[in-house]
Every structure is written in C-alpha cells, then in structure tokens.
A and B are shown apart, each in its own frame.
Chain A
C-alpha cells in the first residue's frame, strides 16, 4: 500500500497552460516536501511545507499543504518546457527518519 498517492501519474500539456498535481494520504505528516527529478539525476528539493493550510510560492509554482496535513498540491502557472520532469512528494513522519515518497507525476510540457 502506497502511503502517498500522487495524481495524475502522467500529464502532457502545451506550453503556457496551467496545471495542478496532487499528493494525498490517509496519514498525517509533520511536514511534506516536493522534489523534482530529471532523467539520470537525483531528486532536487523544491519546497517544504509544514503548517496545515500553508501556501508557498516559488516563481510560477504554488504549493499548498492541506489543513489536516494529509495532502498537498502543486500548481504551475503558464508551464514552460523547462518544467518537464518527475515531480515527487515526500512525507516526513517525524524526527530524522527516511522520507516516504509518492510514485510521482511525470510532467511533459510541449513547446
């Protein structure tokens, strides 16, 4: 059973469109992180959200943590080809444990 479910699994859209990807769980996490991974490379941390209801913006990317700290979303405005990649959410249960990852959303932005 996957503790973190990400949707959609695959998304291919045109440059300039907006999109939202979701990360859902039945478990509560003390914080949640979003990573982006490109082929042949390791994941790169984008953001950490900690407080229920928190919203963080990173240029055209908006991250939200659910009020109950069980889910999160990533919204990209005016997507660009450089946004192409695998977007992973990862939950932190507490302390310095290993991260629990979702399976990711494969995003392709076509020029």
Chain B
C-alpha cells in the first residue's frame, strides 16, 4: 500500500460527458502528479501541483484540468470526453527533497463508450 488513494476505481461514461477523478496523497506529501496510461502511449505525465499551486504541465489536453485543495487532495476533471480518452489515470505524490521518487495510487480505469 503506497498510501495514495484514488477514487473511483472504475468509471464508465459516454462521449461528450464530464468526469472528476479524485486523489489523496500520502500523509505529508505536498506534490501531486497526474498521469495517463494507455496501451499505445504508455505512462504520460499530465500535470503537477505543489501545495495548491500548479507546478508543471505535461501532455495535458485543454479539455482536462486539475486542482489541488487546501487539504492537499487533488481532482482531475476530464470534459467533452472522447473514445480516445479511455485509459488508466494514476495519481502520484512525492515529498520534499530526494530525487523526485513518486508513490502511485491504484489508478482509475476510465472507459468512454
């Protein structure tokens, strides 16, 4: 158990819809990262938040957004969903210092029909 929790575990929705994925980092970790994992692209970094502020952006689409709340949990919002957005979405957290070692949650499997 990494200490990172994600909900829901599975999500099935239709094209054009909007969903919200939730993540709670390990106790004490200020950084939260979101990743998308698909068969063709592998694990792709989407966005990072540190203590409530956006810190770095990766390959995140404009239809996607995220935020980190004062209690440090984070939400990833996916809108105008397309079939190609079907993937595993992982949240990871890391502490201060070290070499950016990240601890991953169990993921949310999103299926867009």
Which residues of A does B touch, CB under 8 Å? 2, 30-31, 33, 35, 40-45, 48, 50, 88, 90, 92, 95-104
Given pairs A45-B101, A99-B100, 15 additional interface contacts (CB within 8 A): A40-B106, A42-B4, A42-B92, A44-B2, A50-B99, A90-B43, A92-B100, A96-B48, A96-B56, A97-B100, A98-B45, A98-B48, A98-B56, A101-B44, A101-B45
B64 at the interface (CB under 8 A from A): no
Residue ID in chain A nearest B57 by CB atoms = A98
Residue contact B35 to A92, C-beta cutoff 8 Å: no
Interface SS majority for chain A: loop
Task: Tell me whether A31 and B100 are in contact in the complex, defined as CB-CB below 8 angstroms, given that A41-B106, A96-B50, A98-B35 are known contacts.
Answer: yes
Which residue of A45, A48, A102 is within 8 Å of B42 (Cβ)? A102
A96-B31 contact given A31-B99, A44-B2, A45-B102, CB 8 Å threshold: yes
A50, closest chain B residue (CB): B99
Contact in complex: B107, A92 (CB < 8 Å) = no
Chain A residues within an 8 Å CB radius of B101: 33, 45, 48
10 examples of A-B residue contacts, CB within 8 angstroms: A31-B99, A35-B104, A43-B104, A48-B98, A96-B48, A98-B48, A98-B56, A99-B102, A101-B44, A102-B42
Contact indicator B43/A88 (Cβ below 8 Å) = yes
B55: CB under 8 A from chain A?
yes
Residues on B with C-beta less than 8 A from A35 are 104
Query: Counting CB contacts under 8 A, is B94 at the interface?
Result: yes
Interface centre among B4, B45, B47, B98 (most CB of A within 10 A): B45
Q: Which of B43, B44, B47 has the most CB of A within 10 A?
A: B43
B44: chain A residues at CB < 8 Å are 101
Q: Are A44 and B58 in contact (CB under 8 A)?
A: no
Residue of A nearest to B60 (CB): A98
- Least Cβ distance of A91 to chain B in Å? 10
